[in-house]
């Protein structure tokens, strides 16, 4: 006997018509409960289904390539979410590039915080980015990423220590709404945000995804 029918008075539960009517409502309720119970897993980058992961990425301004390894896509979404408040800063650019390329990244610029009596050095628009390699991205794709993340007018000086022949490019980062810049760093350049995707319809009782 179903859980909803068990809560009915005995005389009503014995009626096959009423029992069948209640069972139909129970089937609908079970579907809703299954979705509610899985919400905490669906918003976890390590456990979300591929469709839900793509939806979360769209809200973060991240374009995922479906052919990428699942572990890479999940790690990238997790890192972009963690660094969302640091966009446009040296720390944020380093973290996002490291997640996208798998290389060690160092970013330096001429920003600084100066007191009212401090001598302010001349403005230096050059942002120096040094990384071990570009991973599966091309140098052109890395420069395109920096163009999105760095402020308008910044001049990029890119140093790839160990150049390699990359494969076709994969995930890329769109412009997010501008965030506040940390002291000593520049504010990120804003571009028109892309409309987020509609959330996917999860199947009843659908669990975690592969590669989590």
Q: What is the pLDDT of residue 129?
A: 92
Of 95 and 42, more confident: 95
**How far is it, in rounded angstroms, from Cα 140 to Cα 55?**
27
Identify the band that residue 178 occupies on the pLDDT scale cut at 50, 70 and 90.
Answer: very low
Average pLDDT, the chain: 74
| Per-residue pLDDT tens digits for 122-145 | 888 888 999 999 888 888 888 888
Identify the band that residue 171 occupies on the pLDDT scale cut at 50, 70 and 90.
Answer: low
Q: Stretch 180-187: mean pLDDT, rounded?
A: 38
pLDDT tops 50 at residue 46 = yes
Polymer length in residues for the chain: 212
Q: Stretch 22-40: mean pLDDT, rounded?
A: 72
Q: Stretch 87-109: mean pLDDT, rounded?
A: 88
Write the burial class of residue 34 (CB in 10 Å: 0-12 exposed, 13-18 middle, 19+ buried).
middle
Contact assessment for residue 93 and residue 129, using Cβ atoms and an 8 Å cutoff: yes
Whole-structure pTM value? 0.55
Q: Parse the chain into domains and list their residue ranges.
A: 16-82, 87-168+181-188
Of 200 and 96, more confident: 96
């Amino acid at each position: 006997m179903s859980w909803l029918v068990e809560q009915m008075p005995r005389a009503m539960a014995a009626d096959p018509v009423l029992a069948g009517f209640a069972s139909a409502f129970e089937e609908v309720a079970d579907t809703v409960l299954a979705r509610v119970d899985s919400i905490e897993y669906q918003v976890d980058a390590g456990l979300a289904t591929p469709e839900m992961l793509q939806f979360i990425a769209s809200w973060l301004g991240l374009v995922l390539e479906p052919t990428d390894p699942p572990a890479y896509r999940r790690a990238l979404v997790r890192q972009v979410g963690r660094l969302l408040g640091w966009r446009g800063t040296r720390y944020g650019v380093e973290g996002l590039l490291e997640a996208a390329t798998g290389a060690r990244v160092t970013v330096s610029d001429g920003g600084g915080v100066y007191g009212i009596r401090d001598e302010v050095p001349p403005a230096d628009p050059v942002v120096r980015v040094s990384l071990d390699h570009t991973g599966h991205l091309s140098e052109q794709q890395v420069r395109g990423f920096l163009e999105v993340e760095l402020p308008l007018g910044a001049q990029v000086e890119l140093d790839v220590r160990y150049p390699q022949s990359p494969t076709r490019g994969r995930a890329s980062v769109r412009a997010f709404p501008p965030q506040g810049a940390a002291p000593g760093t520049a504010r990120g350049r804003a571009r028109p945000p892309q409309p987020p995707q509609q959330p996917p319809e999860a199947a009843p009782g659908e669990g975690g995804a592969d590669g989590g």
